Structure 1
Amino acid sequence: MCRLPCKNGCVEGIVQRLKTYKDPELKFDIKFLDMRMLFLLTALVADTRPKIRYDLHGFTYLMEVIDLTLRDAEEAQIGLTDDEVDLCNEILKILFNITVTVDKNSLDEEEEAHFMRLVSVLRDLLMFKTVSKDKRDELQKHTVNLLTNMPKDCYEELLIPLIEGDVGGIENKEVEFDGKNMEAIVVLLDFLYRRLDRPTKSLKESLTPILHCLCETCKTNRAIRKFCRTKVLPPLKDEVKRLPEEGDSLRNRLCKLLTSTVTEVKDLCADLIFILCKESVQRMVKYTGYGNCAGLLANRGLMLGGPVQGDYSSDSEDSETEEYCNLKTLVNPVTGRWEEDKSDPMAGMSDEQKEFEAMKLVEAMDKLQRQGVIQPSRIGPGGHPVPIGGIQELAATLNIPNITQEAESDSD
């Protein structure tokens, strides 16, 4: 049933009618029904996607409809109405379907130009006001989804030269960076913050598109990465007295998700912070604590540290504040928090007492390991965790001497 409309000229008819959307006599209901049908067809019938994109030039016509809608709304000076947002959303969903399988690494000049133009249109959508606040969030959601399909070189189109007084009412100092207008990036970061701020039944559906979008833009565009770093990972001051996951800032909320049970969200949060740290293990540990980023380091074989992995500029960007320098020596690298100097719990113990207490710990860990509760590991030469076998290996890893086979049998 899904293939029938494709054989009776339905798709061709809808794409042809796109050319008439500037006619004020054409009712919204017809436009919306057209786009709804085209979305369903591109979602359910894979063959329609290249047909619309290449044979019928629908890619260009769909962008022109969004352009026309934005021009009409700008002339009306009231922002996008709910109907106009609904129409744009359907078009964005169609564009997502026809670009989701595109090979981003083998585009010719014409295709690349189309994608550059599309990212410029998406930037306009991010900036545009809507009559309804809820509709604006919905529009930004679909815009973000489509941005994840864009080739990496096209993200530059999210930035434009800064024009004094033309920043949508936002203070210039908030959006100016390296001579570029970062207003679109501010909108993306605000969108992420709102998504982190509200409870949701599906963290994966709510957060993965915007996290993926920011990972891609920050990884491929130096100016965007540096700007996002100032917003997400500003220089540490007195907040180092709290755990990285405690607080309401973007850094705090992202660090909290580094231990999320939703693997996709946890991994993308870690990737974003790691990219903002220019893939420096030392810097990542500084901002998140070793415990929070251990999963990422283990997956990448970086638990022993290592050089910067990505292709990043050599400038520092990591000047430490006076407040942080005063507290730095007492920051616990595991928790990432400043802690008061504590007395040595083994002070006054003899070597025999220390060894006795250490053995009690080893035996307790060995029991939990045999019960399948935990799996002690050591860091292998490749920087990945390597499981520890029995009590003898565990004791050797902890540098506890005089462990005999009799001690191992006693623990059984």
Structure 2
Amino acid sequence: MDLNNILSQLETANEEEIDALLQQYNRENSHTFAFEPKEEALRSKLCQSVLTVLGRQVLPSCQKTCLETLRILSRDKRVLAPVATREGMMTLGRMARLRTGEEGGDEEKSSQEDTLSEEEERVVVEALKCLCNVVYNSPAAQQVSVDVQLAHGLCASLRTARSWRHEVGLFSLRLLFLLSALRPDLRGVLRREWHAVRLLSEVLEHTLDVRWVGPYEAACPDSQALPMPAEDNERAMEALKASFNLTLSYTGGEEDDHQFRLIAAILRHLLMLKTETEEKTEEAHSHAVNLLNNLPVSCLDVLIDLPVQGGEEKYGGKNMDVIQVLLDFMEKRIDKQGSNYKEGLTPVLSLLTEGSRQHREIRRYIKAQVLPPLKDVKIRPEIGTTIRNKLVRLMTHVDMGVKQTAAEFLFVLCKESVDNLLKYTGYGNAAGLLVARGLLAGGRGETQYSEDEDSDTEEYKSAKPFINPITGHVEEPMPNPIEEMTEEQKEYEAQELVNMFDKLSRQNVIRPMGVRPDGTLAPLEETLCDPHEDNSGSDSD
């Protein structure tokens, strides 16, 4: 459709005509993401015209159509000037039923929100989608959102969103995630004034249907239960992403310890759940791992301290089910072809490293799975399909961050003992870490560990004297190259070697050296005829 024609008709059209006109535009442009630059000014005017229509008292059906048009236009960041204003953002906020800082009566209006019709809810969803696009594409809109306290309205909305449809909660959470990601200065306000971390925990509890059986213990998911529905999983992902932003670089205080432990318990419950597809389950686990990395490491004991559900005696009665889930997740990420190890793998490696460093039972369990007692030492540590082989290969990865994280993980499992690390990886693979830690001469790291050293297997003890410390395995004896030679061939090769050294010496590529009587090195010719040599001690008749 011709934009000039649309703009001219919008000026005089009634509500029904506007609805029909914009519906046609939406159908023709619903899949458009790249817009013609030459029509930029016209699209900007259309944004303004649509906002003007939304400012009138029009029916929800017309509002929805206008918002669909605005959502399509908001994909182009160059035309958002009319929307990224106080008036424009307030209009969208009203359409989304969000109370901004200029509006009061949150509690009085909250009861009215529960009675929205299906058509009115569709308007809310479209307005939230528009706000997500506009906030993402416009720094000016981000600033206006802060000025009118849009995030406050989102928090108030999320407290009543349980009775709303899936998409209202989903896009409310997505908008909160975008605001907290793009405006770091907003995170402290969300935590302190609007208690957003606690709110998001409540959203996760409700979405994941958490049933508490202890202070920080959720009932174990029924193995026969149906997988988590896709819609619940989507909302949980957005809540996890927003929670990650709000807890990033935030250590909290004593009053936050309970909340952090509660989050850890919820994340343990999530890690034990399955979704409708393996891909979505992996995505959920990835977000859970990212958020766990933000929590104080002392809170990780919540993952294994489950007295009601029981545990394994050899690990102090701790339940290691979720640690095994994390190990399986880590191995999947290593095996994933073409994946970005820095983003996909290092978070889970860091989490397991810190958990092992701070919690003895976690370290002992992971050590048993990753670095079991050595038996076969005839194969290089980096060759094979075991999880140990895969991690040793990562110790020489081209990405410095991946290499260091993998090496640190194995080092902690070895209780930061250089000798133990070399036993499992070989000096060549471990050299990078040892140089970085200043431990080339051996020794231990600074962290103190309990005394529960593993005993070596008989196979390892018998093979130990023959292990090459550089490669970390027993090498086959190399054949003697001169064994099959005749005496003439040996003399010929020896003469060739002499000629080679003579040529290199004449070209000053190498320079033969000798030792003076005082023990210092000098060119060979100087040591053979040193003018300071004392011959006075020779006999004379």
| Identity across matched positions, percent | 37
Q: 1:343 to 1:36 in 2, by over 3 A?
A: same
Match of 2:48 in 1: none
Match of 1:386 in 2: none
| 1:284-338 deviations in Å (ceiling 9; x for gaps) | 000000000001111111111124431211221x211122122222111110011
Match of 1:14 in 2: 154
Match of 2:57 in 1: none
What one-letter code is carried by the residue in structure 2 that aligns with 1:198?
K
| 1:228-253 deviations in Å (ceiling 9; x for gaps) | 11111110112x11110111111100
Match of 2:167 in 1: 29
Cα deviation for residue 160 of structure 1 reads 2.4
Q: For the Cα contact (< 8 Å) 2:248–2:294, is it kept in 1?
A: yes
Match of 2:275 in 1: 130
Q: For the Cα contact (< 8 Å) 1:162–1:176, is it kept in 2?
A: no
Match of 1:159 in 2: 304
1:405 and 1:138 mapped to 2: Cα distance?
Answer: 68
**TM-score (norm. length: structure 1):** 0.79
User: What aligned pairs does 1:222-301 form with structure 2 within 5 A after superposition?
Assistant: 222-238=360-376, 240-301=377-438
Match of 2:82 in 1: none
Cα deviation for residue 123 of structure 1 reads 0.9
Cα deviation for residue 162 of structure 1 reads 5.4
Q: For the Cα contact (< 8 Å) 1:330–1:341, is it kept in 2?
A: no
| 1:324-378 deviations in Å (ceiling 9; x for gaps) | 122222111110011244578899x9xxx8xx89x96xx89xx9xx9xxxxxxxx
What one-letter code is carried by the residue in structure 2 that aligns with 1:16?
A
Tell me whether 1:114 sits opposite 2:252 in the alignment: no
Tell me whether 1:85 sits opposite 2:222 in the alignment: no
Q: 1:391 to 1:99 in 2, by over 3 A?
A: farther
Cα deviation for residue 178 of structure 1 reads 2.1
Q: For the Cα contact (< 8 Å) 1:330–1:340, is it kept in 2?
A: no
Report SS of the residue matched to 1:148.
helix
Tell me whether 1:334 sits opposite 2:477 in the alignment: no
**TM-score (norm. length: structure 2):** 0.61
Cα deviation for residue 203 of structure 1 reads 2.1
> When the two structures are aligned, how many residues end up with a matched partner?
358
Q: For the Cα contact (< 8 Å) 2:511–2:523, is it kept in 1?
A: no
Tell me whether 1:181 sits opposite 2:326 in the alignment: no
2:520 and 2:349 mapped to 1: Cα distance?
Answer: 48
Match of 1:169 in 2: none
Q: Unaligned stretches of 5+ in structure 2? A: 1-139, 212-220, 484-489, 527-541
| Aligned partner of 2:440 among 291, 296, 303 | 303
Tell me whether 1:71 sits opposite 2:219 in the alignment: no
Match of 2:128 in 1: none
Q: For the Cα contact (< 8 Å) 2:210–2:269, is it kept in 1?
A: no
Q: 1:227 to 1:346 in 2, by over 3 A?
A: farther
| Aligned partner of 1:404 among 523, 531, 535 | 523
Match of 1:374 in 2: none
Match of 2:16 in 1: none
| 1:78-100 deviations in Å (ceiling 9; x for gaps) | 23111111111111111111111
Q: For the Cα contact (< 8 Å) 1:257–1:265, is it kept in 2?
A: yes
Q: Which fold has the larger relative contact order, with Cα–Cα distance below 8 Å and residues 6 or more apart in sequence? A: 1
Q: For the Cα contact (< 8 Å) 1:200–1:206, is it kept in 2?
A: no
Structure 1 runs of 4+ aligned residues shifted over 4 Å read 72-76, 341-347, 390-393, 400-403
1:139 and 1:403 mapped to 2: Cα distance?
Answer: 68
Structural RMSD (CA): 3.3
Match of 1:375 in 2: none
* Bigger Rg, which one: 2
2:334 and 2:253 mapped to 1: Cα distance?
Answer: 38
Tell me whether 1:101 sits opposite 2:249 in the alignment: yes
Q: For the Cα contact (< 8 Å) 1:42–1:49, is it kept in 2?
A: yes
2:393 and 2:328 mapped to 1: Cα distance?
Answer: 18
